[in-house]
Amino acid sequence: MPDGFVLLALLVATLRAAAPLLLAGFGELVAERSGVLNLGVEGMMLVGAAAGFIATVATGQVLLGLMVAALAGMLMALLFGLLTLTLGANQVACGLALTIFGTGLSALIGLPWQGTPIPGLASVIWPGLDAAGPVAQQLMLLDPLLGLALLLPVLVGFFLYRTRSGLILRAVGESHEVAHALGYGVLRVRYAAVLFGGAMAGLAGAYLSLVYTPMWTENMVAGRGWIALALVVFSAWKPVWLAIGALFFGFVTIAQFQAGALGLDVSPHLLSMLPYLATVVVLVLISRDETRRKLNAPAALGKPFTAAG
């Protein structure tokens, strides 16, 4: 294979591996910028993956499956919002409970479809994908959902730093008391941010079950929700660094397969650890720069809000 084709294939594979991290990560970034810490990303992704897959198999419409996945993620996020924003429950505990609940719920509803393969989104968009040349096949794998994931850094960055609504959201995340005193609906803003995060997590899960590996298998998210959470912290809540981090982890994910394909005598179990090992290394590096983290973290992150203050 020419070197140019190998580089193209590596680039496409990296982008595809990074897509669910971009979707889930930017959803969580918006939520955390509003002052809400939702640790239930993994659970929302799993439910989105299962719901989207079931809807696609039942109707034969991938687009409908993606919409159902986003809705499922939003419903999970709404449950989290009701517990933490309306009832004032602890955000960390509820987020962990949401992941546990999502893991069990997705396994339950997805049980009849376990291991069932379906045509991926690229095959639906491009019916002649299998007959196309190698270069054309790689380009056809750049589906619209991947395009959305790659646009998110620009869209979210523009929203947060160039719009009035983004300024209000960041103000709520920095000081909900001041935002409330100025007449802004703190709970309304936070609910909107949490629901957006849920929709993006649902789409991230659906990307795995409908695009990346078009089938449903139990617990197929495999920790990507936790990596997305780590990326938000790694990026210091900055869209550009979050995008760079997601692409890096996408490359590391692909590297484990490339190492095996090159015939390197490395245990496959060790290679499968690479993305998670990289996460641990990044978190260790982050923890050494406590000042940077504190300066960039939303001041009201994880703090409950009541109208009384």
Q: What's the pLDDT tens digit per position in 223-245? A: 899 999 989 988 889 999 999 98
DSSP state of 132: S
Average pLDDT over residues 186-212: 96
Distance CA 262, CA 168 (A): 51
The pLDDT mean for the chain works out to 88
Residue 37 binned pLDDT confidence (cut-offs 50, 70, 90): very high
How high is the pLDDT of residue 89?
94
Of the candidates 122, 121, 150, the residue with the CA atom closest to the CA atom of residue 19: 150
Domains of the chain: 10-296 (1.10.3470.10)
Specify the range with the lowest mean pLDDT, choosing from 18-22, 115-119, 182-186: 115-119
Vertex 7: Cα angle to 207 and 226 (nearest 5): 35
How high is the pLDDT of residue 307?
67
pLDDT at residue 137 tops 80: no
How high is the pLDDT of residue 286?
63
Of the candidates 122, 131, 138, the residue with the CA atom closest to the CA atom of residue 6: 138
Distance CA 43, CA 101 (A): 7
Of the candidates 63, 26, 44, 167, the residue with the CA atom closest to the CA atom of residue 105: 44
Its pTM stands at 0.91
Handedness of CA 56, 60, 66, 69 (dihedral sign): negative
